[in-house]
């Protein structure tokens, strides 16, 4: 798996109670998520963390259990990349109070003027696997899903 520098932006309405903070920390531990996510509710914006792409789907489900409706965006930028082949993935997630949600994943390779695509970059493009998962946009309702159902639903095939 690619190692990444990650940037999460969380938007929600209202004030987080002490009980919600405690429940959030408990769910983070139960689902084996990075403990650094605990500050996400307090910051309410721009959490910098590393190597969490594999956890973001569970995190979304946990946030729904605590917040109900919210909007989350995240950027996963490859830490080490060959010249001319800088990779990033962006996800966007929004959920309404009734549980209806939209999840979108977009992969991107950057090519700068000073470089040509490297051999590594050409191989990624040929394999059609420039990133972690395929680009996708998925809509559904999270209300009655457990964490495994939710993760399966928003993981591209």
d(CA 40, CA 66): 12
Higher pLDDT, 123 or 139: 139
Q: What local confidence, expressed as pLDDT, does residue 132 receive?
A: 67
- Exposure string over 131-142, b if 16+ CB within 10 A, otherwise e: bbeeeeeeeeeb
* Cα–Cα dist 154/157, whole Å: 9
* Element housing 141 (H / E): strand 136-141
Q: What is the pLDDT of residue 80?
A: 78
pLDDT at residue 41 in the model: 85
What the block records as the tokens of 130 is 């420039």
Of 29, 33, 38, give the one whose Cα is nearest residue 10. Answer: 38
pLDDT in tens, 34-93: 999 988 887 666 789 998 988 999 999 999 999 999 999 999 988 877 666 778 889 999
Mean pLDDT for the stretch of residues 103-118: 76
pTM for this one? Answer: 0.88
């Amino acid at each position: 798996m690619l190692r990444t520098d990650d940037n999460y932006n969380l938007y929600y309405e209202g004030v987080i109670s002490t009980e919600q903070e405690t429940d959030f920390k408990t769910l983070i531990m139960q689902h084996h998520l990075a403990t650094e996510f605990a500050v996400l509710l307090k910051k309410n914006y721009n959490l910098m963390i590393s190597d969490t792409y594999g956890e973001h789907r569970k995190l979304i489900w946990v946030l729904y259990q605590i917040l109900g409706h919210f909007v989350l965006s995240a950027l996963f930028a490859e830490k080490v990349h060959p010249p001319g082949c800088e990779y990033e993935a962006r996800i966007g997630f929004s959920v309404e109070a009734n549980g209806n949600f939209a999840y979108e994943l977009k992969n991107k390779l950057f090519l700068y003027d000073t470089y040509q695509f490297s051999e590594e970059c050409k191989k990624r493009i040929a394999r059609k696997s420039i990133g972690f998962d395929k680009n996708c946009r998925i809509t559904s309702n999270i209300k009655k899903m457990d964490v495994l159902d939710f993760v399966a639903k928003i993981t591209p095939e």
